[in-house]
Chain A
């Protein structure tokens, strides 16, 4: 899996971009989606990781 692949939340449309990371959850930029912790949730709608689809 490529590090730069963005993922989209199927529940609300939030896009996780590895380049930006996720400041709301203290995720530094450069973190691949696969490397997000399992207890990570969508910063906007709190959906689990498996609610996310690859975008690129």
Chain B
């Protein structure tokens, strides 16, 4: 008998005479809003109707998924399986990653179904369990080509991962090859991501080789990812053509929305050509990329449908759109046409600058995310660079001039550089004078360059103080231009009450680069005002944490494996990735936020098709090019506390680490977590870790090459991998101390400190003062791992972090 799956009513062959086997995707909480809403309303009949609809539309199998945070997946899915088993004639695919839930469903289902899915992400633990279930209940399984290093991007990786899964499933668990449907993963070729231009080719090649090299197995694809980022009309067409190509390579099954699939015969030869060029990344000797030609081709057709008259887009409009879309391809051609009609400066002022302002507005409304804004800025930069040789030499720069600097003692430049990118590409003249700039230099430069405004940046808590304390200096120097302040540790309250009074011209708090842009516009309009203390409801920000804390100092003191310091230089960079806080990276560092106009489904799709592949690509590149060189200097020392001080004994000498105490209840201080001498003394642990300067060098190169988008991506990546190293090393040290019994199950567990004790970074809220670095460096000698201190006690390279580790069970984050 041919390999089949079956419901109570019928058997369905996996290898159809006319492939592919169509698997309906809509009975899925992640894939269909309607299905999800029905489930959340406990409308199981509604959930069933979506299945019946897909059956009527031609689905031959139904994927069934009920995973939804906060609901009982097993209760929901077993109920749905029962319903579907009775009322739907076609077999189902159980879509869950929870083995217990899968088993509960398999027990119930009166036929042979498919399990969706297994992979090697966790090294094979879950795969082992699910394969045993498949064997026991005779089910087939979908296997995704994901391994411990992440999603397989290239054909080679896809085949290799499939082979590893095959060895486990067939070799170890005794499944037959025909019991496995390999999904070699699809990534979008529609979003303009350079690293994904051949993603279609890699997937097609993956299908062909998996079928060839692992005889007897089947293949399946979740199809619609391929076209993510494109307008709906063209997505439908591209999906259909790609499906056809995949089947040509041997694809057996496709997970699709059967209501939206379009037969190839209904697609014109011409349309197919544009699809083929995009899928196979063929340039056809044209200057424009296949993606741009694809977008242009289908965009025009939609327009002629709606409005017959606009046959040709005006070049002015086209340039505007290219800037807004962040599309650099072929932008010179449009500029050349426009240069025949307008003086270059007029192109800048009448088309380019307004387009960038529009981009800013879209960002403000939450319709455009930061990474896309940076792509627009790149298109702007390219346009202005192209026009520059045609512009007359202007002796005196017109327009508003602004000086930017990161303040003394602070090496962080990402915030300042984003402001630079945005300002300079909005037509302002920017003088970016770098990091760690003392107030005297800023004052001298502001005079020399006759700027209209000064922008000061700084990430550290201390930088906020530096800004506050230097303002009287600016006043005494007689400066009269407004000063913009930006940085993570600033708040509008702080600026209004502690900064504004110390300077004669307006001092303005800017929460981000766009707020700075608004301040510039206000300045030009003559309406710029100093930030006012106007807390939204008259209350200062809350101070989290219990207000009444008694620290029990009779807790046992752990025994470290050694006293003194050690240096570790052979940390495997791949070990850090599981500790990366992906949410903080994607949303915080990269700006892929979910805005008010985005649904949870759309955001999940953005994450799946754009952000995750970007991240996977960076991880791969970082490993391949040796960008990560993680190292640690750490140690354990006998210590005792006295008031706010922890005295650390090295054997030769005793160092006094003074920690600040909270000024309001519960009046915590890091020293409170350590026993005093009379109480028998304690153990203090410290580390300095770094991922090495190579990645910082690469990041700088990108900024200097005006590759703004990639600059932000690599910078954010390096910041979060540094944090991951800190998280990892903290865990290593907890293990060495024998206090690692509670290991967090996932990233959320680490975020919420679901482990014993806490680590306090120097320069962070519980000990903002960096001066302790002086003693810390004597203690740990991190120069040996390549970390040094600046004159203001900051670590170089920037991708380094330090901490004191408290083992006390009550120790958790707090802010002084």
Q: Which of A10-53 contact B (CB under 8 A)?
A: 10-15, 19, 22, 24-25, 37-44, 46, 48, 51, 53
Smallest CB–CB gap between B595 and chain A, Å?
8
User: Is B593 in contact with A53, judged by CB distance below 8 angstroms?
Assistant: yes
User: Is B544 in contact with A14, judged by CB distance below 8 angstroms?
Assistant: no
User: Is B541 in contact with A10, judged by CB distance below 8 angstroms?
Assistant: no
Which residue in B70, B540, B581 is a CB contact (below 8 Å) of A13?
A: B581
Q: Does B535 count as interface, using CB distance less than 8 angstroms? A: yes
User: Is B537 in contact with A12, judged by CB distance below 8 angstroms?
Assistant: no
Q: In whole angstroms, how far apart are the Cα atoms of A44 and B747 in the complex?
A: 14
User: Is A38 in contact with B600, judged by CB distance below 8 angstroms?
Assistant: no
With most chain B CB atoms within 10 A of its CB, the pick from A38, A39, A48 is: A39
Smallest CB–CB gap between B31 and chain A, Å?
16
User: Is B544 in contact with A12, judged by CB distance below 8 angstroms?
Assistant: no
Contacts of B539 in A (CB 8 A): 37-39
| Chain B 575-599 per-residue mask, 1 if CB under 8 angstroms from chain A, else 0 | 0000001011001100001110000
Which residue in A10, A13, A42 is a CB contact (below 8 Å) of B748?
A: A13
User: Is A53 in contact with B747, judged by CB distance below 8 angstroms?
Assistant: no
Q: Which of B751-787 contact A (CB under 8 A)?
A: 751-753, 765
User: Is B751 in contact with A38, judged by CB distance below 8 angstroms?
Assistant: no
Smallest CB–CB gap between B179 and chain A, Å?
36
User: Is B69 in contact with A10, judged by CB distance below 8 angstroms?
Assistant: no
Q: In whole angstroms, how far apart are the Cα atoms of A10 and B369 in the complex?
A: 13
Contacts of A4 in B (CB 8 A): 70
User: Is B588 in contact with A38, judged by CB distance below 8 angstroms?
Assistant: no
Smallest CB–CB gap between A25 and chain B, Å?
5
Q: Does B536 count as interface, using CB distance less than 8 angstroms? A: yes
Q: In whole angstroms, how far apart are the Cα atoms of A42 and B539 in the complex?
A: 16
Q: Does B666 count as interface, using CB distance less than 8 angstroms? A: no
User: Is A13 in contact with B751, judged by CB distance below 8 angstroms?
Assistant: yes
User: Is A39 in contact with B542, judged by CB distance below 8 angstroms?
Assistant: yes
User: Is B751 in contact with A56, judged by CB distance below 8 angstroms?
Assistant: no
User: Is B70 in contact with A44, judged by CB distance below 8 angstroms?
Assistant: no
User: Is A13 in contact with B583, judged by CB distance below 8 angstroms?
Assistant: yes
Contacts of B581 in A (CB 8 A): 12-13
User: Is A46 in contact with B584, judged by CB distance below 8 angstroms?
Assistant: no
With most chain B CB atoms within 10 A of its CB, the pick from A19, A53, A55 is: A53
User: Is A43 in contact with B584, judged by CB distance below 8 angstroms?
Assistant: no
Q: In whole angstroms, how far apart are the Cα atoms of A3 and B144 in the complex?
A: 36
Contacts of B583 in A (CB 8 A): 8, 10, 13
User: Is B593 in contact with A41, judged by CB distance below 8 angstroms?
Assistant: no
Q: In whole angstroms, how far apart are the Cα atoms of A15 and B587 in the complex?
A: 13
Q: In whole angstroms, how far apart are the Cα atoms of A22 and B583 in the complex?
A: 20
Contacts of A25 in B (CB 8 A): 542, 544
Q: Does B813 count as interface, using CB distance less than 8 angstroms? A: yes
Contacts of B545 in A (CB 8 A): 24, 43
Q: Which residue of A lies closest to B547 (CB)?
A: A26
User: Quick one: given A19-B70, A25-B542, A41-B542, are A12 and B751 in contact (CB under 8 Å)?
Assistant: yes
Q: In whole angstroms, how far apart are the Cα atoms of A4 and B765 in the complex?
A: 31
Contacts of B594 in A (CB 8 A): 53-55
Contacts of A56 in B (CB 8 A): 69-70, 600
Q: Size of chain A's interface in residues, with CB distance under 8 A?
A: 28
Q: In whole angstroms, how far apart are the Cα atoms of A21 and B815 in the complex?
A: 21
Smallest CB–CB gap between B254 and chain A, Å?
29
User: Is A46 in contact with B765, judged by CB distance below 8 angstroms?
Assistant: yes
Contacts of A44 in B (CB 8 A): 544, 751-753, 813
Q: Which residue of A lies closest to B582 (CB)?
A: A13
User: Is B536 in contact with A13, judged by CB distance below 8 angstroms?
Assistant: no
Q: In whole angstroms, how far apart are the Cα atoms of A51 and B583 in the complex?
A: 12
User: Is B537 in contact with A54, judged by CB distance below 8 angstroms?
Assistant: no
Q: In whole angstroms, how far apart are the Cα atoms of A38 and B587 in the complex?
A: 21
Smallest CB–CB gap between B513 and chain A, Å?
15
Contacts of B541 in A (CB 8 A): 39, 41, 46, 48
Q: In whole angstroms, how far apart are the Cα atoms of A40 and B536 in the complex?
A: 11
User: Is B536 in contact with A12, judged by CB distance below 8 angstroms?
Assistant: no
Contacts of A10 in B (CB 8 A): 583-584, 587-588, 593
Contacts of A19 in B (CB 8 A): 70
Q: Which residue of A lies closest to B489 (CB)?
A: A46
Smallest CB–CB gap between A15 and chain B, Å?
7
Q: In whole angstroms, how far apart are the Cα atoms of A40 and B177 in the complex?
A: 56
Contacts of B813 in A (CB 8 A): 44
User: Is B544 in contact with A41, judged by CB distance below 8 angstroms?
Assistant: yes
With most chain B CB atoms within 10 A of its CB, the pick from A15, A24, A51 is: A24
Smallest CB–CB gap between A54 and chain B, Å?
6
Smallest CB–CB gap between A31 and chain B, Å?
13
Q: In whole angstroms, how far apart are the Cα atoms of A12 and B752 in the complex?
A: 10
Contacts of B69 in A (CB 8 A): 6, 55-56
Contacts of A55 in B (CB 8 A): 69, 594, 600
User: Quick one: given A46-B815, A53-B587, are A38 and B536 in contact (CB under 8 Å)?
Assistant: yes
User: Is B544 in contact with A13, judged by CB distance below 8 angstroms?
Assistant: no
Contacts of B748 in A (CB 8 A): 13, 15
Contacts of A6 in B (CB 8 A): 69-70
Q: Which of B725-751 contact A (CB under 8 A)?
A: 747-748, 751
User: Quick one: given A8-B583, A11-B588, A14-B752, are A39 and B536 in contact (CB under 8 Å)?
Assistant: yes
| Chain B 519-544 per-residue mask, 1 if CB under 8 angstroms from chain A, else 0 | 00000000000000001110111101
Which residue in B540, B542, B751 is a CB contact (below 8 Å) of A14?
A: B751
Q: In whole angstroms, how far apart are the Cα atoms of A3 and B540 in the complex?
A: 25
Contacts of B752 in A (CB 8 A): 14, 44
With most chain B CB atoms within 10 A of its CB, the pick from A8, A10, A11 is: A10
User: Is B542 in contact with A13, judged by CB distance below 8 angstroms?
Assistant: no
Q: In whole angstroms, how far apart are the Cα atoms of A38 and B584 in the complex?
A: 22
User: Is A37 in contact with B542, judged by CB distance below 8 angstroms?
Assistant: yes
Contacts of B540 in A (CB 8 A): 39
Q: Which residue of A lies closest to B585 (CB)?
A: A13
Q: In whole angstroms, how far apart are the Cα atoms of A37 and B594 in the complex?
A: 22
User: Is B537 in contact with A37, judged by CB distance below 8 angstroms?
Assistant: yes
User: Is A12 in contact with B593, judged by CB distance below 8 angstroms?
Assistant: no
Q: In whole angstroms, how far apart are the Cα atoms of A31 and B581 in the complex?
A: 27
Contacts of A51 in B (CB 8 A): 588
Smallest CB–CB gap between B549 and chain A, Å?
12
User: Is B537 in contact with A39, judged by CB distance below 8 angstroms?
Assistant: yes
Q: Which residue of B lies closest to A49 (CB)?
A: B536
Which residue in A11, A39, A41 is a CB contact (below 8 Å) of B584?
A: A11
Q: List, sorted by A's number, 26 A–B pairs whose CB atoms are closer than 8 Å.
A: A6-B69, A8-B583, A8-B587, A10-B588, A12-B751, A13-B584, A14-B751, A15-B748, A22-B544, A24-B544, A24-B545, A38-B539, A39-B536, A39-B537, A41-B541, A43-B545, A44-B544, A44-B751, A44-B813, A46-B544, A53-B587, A53-B593, A53-B595, A54-B600, A55-B600, A56-B69
Contacts beyond the supplied A37-B542, A40-B542: 9 A-B pairs with Cβ under 8 Å = A12-B751, A22-B544, A39-B535, A39-B536, A43-B545, A44-B752, A53-B595, A56-B69, A56-B600
* Pairs A-B, 9 closest by C-beta atoms: A10-B587, A38-B536, A13-B583, A43-B544, A24-B544, A53-B594, A10-B588, A13-B751, A11-B588
Q: Which residues of B are at the interface with A, using a C-beta cutoff of 8 A?
A: 69-70, 535-537, 539-542, 544-546, 581, 583-584, 587-588, 593-595, 600, 747-748, 751-753, 765, 813, 815
